[in-house]
A and B are shown apart, each in its own frame.
Chain A
């Protein structure tokens, strides 16, 4: 009987992994490179030591980048190859989450959480992105597995292997993402609430673990401090609102949807009360593991939200590590319902997730899609050597230059020399005219590609709109728009190009 369950479970997990793999192969691996991914590729194209220096100027920690560097040496430097590394971690996360769920609750809940994980639009997105998020999630799951084993007192008396696993995952985890510390913080909070659940001398071992983590991490902190420029390399983040807070949870469940769809989901927030009401059943005792998962899923998010009022760090992908706990809690919640209600709730959530996954894949309105490939290809096909390509924000040069094979030179607004030491120069409205003059001198047309608004996009666009004739505007994806401006009127060439634009050179996507 037990064997039969094991075989079935293995088959289910294999099917989940297969489904996720197929999704990757069919859709996600072949998407255009996004800004963050381009940055990863650019950073990991350096030497191992160079990567550390570059990443220290960024907002991340370097372990994933070093792994990706090594991976690319073996598997090539194409975008799909790089994404495969993330996919590998993501796929490993499916059985890992099952194991955590089985340990925390039971086989059914573990399987359900793994199913949600495998069809999650949010997890699929980051499971196929050339970033550290799938590795981050996998490590958190492994770390939580060890932590739950500790307070459930599984294994041998001293739980030596579990402690080693716990410390190892913690040590590795902190070098994959800074937010791994929030995971540890939730665990510390749980320990102080339920110290009695842990084996004797657990406090001493946690202190040792904390000392090890601190000792290992301090050199990195010191090194980053020496570099001292991370704040200027990062995209602009604003102070989050409660809408961001709820959007984060909506994204965890339904992925990246258009504003209209998000509004639909968020407006129905009172319905979450029904979920709580239906869980009111006699004898459904709360368990410490549920408390732990609640802390893990919500405390971390709330802390990040609170910190963001001092330093904005509230980005849903940074909080991806709370997703496994959230899915486990959902599984447990539905398990607490009357059987028929539980089955309905489970199926309903799976259905909605599948639909939103489909929408996320197919819809052009998916807000996180960044079609730099089409934009670069279009520019390459249409811009001439007499034209110039201006990118703003400057760091979007990473994905563009990955695809761009055109004749027109590329520059940025504000002007930025990536190879010079130091951060990206800040935008200055006073310097803008001079910078634009320097860019436009000796060129026929400016191909201005705007994305990742850093707070000055409208000023740049307004400047061009008021000083030059706009020939074309094309939106390639959400927040990625190309404007073409005519600079000179004194040559035959410029007259000819104006005629071409006037003939409405329509791109494959929308024409603004």
Chain B
């Protein structure tokens, strides 16, 4: 019993408590609200920063997809970037002028997402008997195979040049006198809002999944496969569905990525580093935790793509490093800091920065 701790606190402390509990329970609406008004009050989001934050949202979607496999179902996946790439390249093939399809954004996104899910199923079906380390190696290998294939199939994928230009959503559509395609191409805030809306949709979907029959089956298989099958759960089918769901969400993120950059970029954008970065984000934030995953991406990717370049240019502007020594550039220390942060988090918060509800409850057992 912990009732003694909750005896009437002073007024200011209780207000702070209210704020804290508001943040904990309604963090999603608070964050969504802040992000929705941010472009209206921060002019920089209309420039390069807007594009960077859009990329951040896209990685959040990717990490939420990975979380289905690694977090909920407990299957180690080291090749999520491959499905990100499949989504991006399929988006490009369905829309770029060099191919005859030239579909609209929405139709291409739906097809690409389904395609990624299909590839996930095809990879999952023969490998599901593998557990732990072995599955990790298969997914790692698959990631490399996809990257090398994208690079070598030059006639189809454009090799190192990638495929471009991927047209923006709404190309050729005018809405209230505004050419939507042009607006998307010129003002990064359009993509900012588009990816924010998709991200919010994925968060809502993940939440509903967590409390669904399928979501419980994922966790049951993670916790105890034998007991799960004694409940009438087919572990094979449940794991396959996790594979497909993970791949689909990663593919969707890939679609947004290609469209927002208007190119697939070169195949190295879908390499092992990206997979590992996403895995680190999920683990750092908290396996199986939606807010944790989002925070993990915000910290890791934000550090990498927003903070590190900013710190570099600041050092240059301040003329701290006139000789150009790499020891004094922030980017040089980037990975060391990154590693240190991971080690510290795992040492002091092994369940992640925002542990999932289940793990959090474990730390507060006895409270009702």
Bound together: no
B: which residues have CB within 8 A of A?
Answer: none
A-to-B contact residues, CB < 8 Å: none
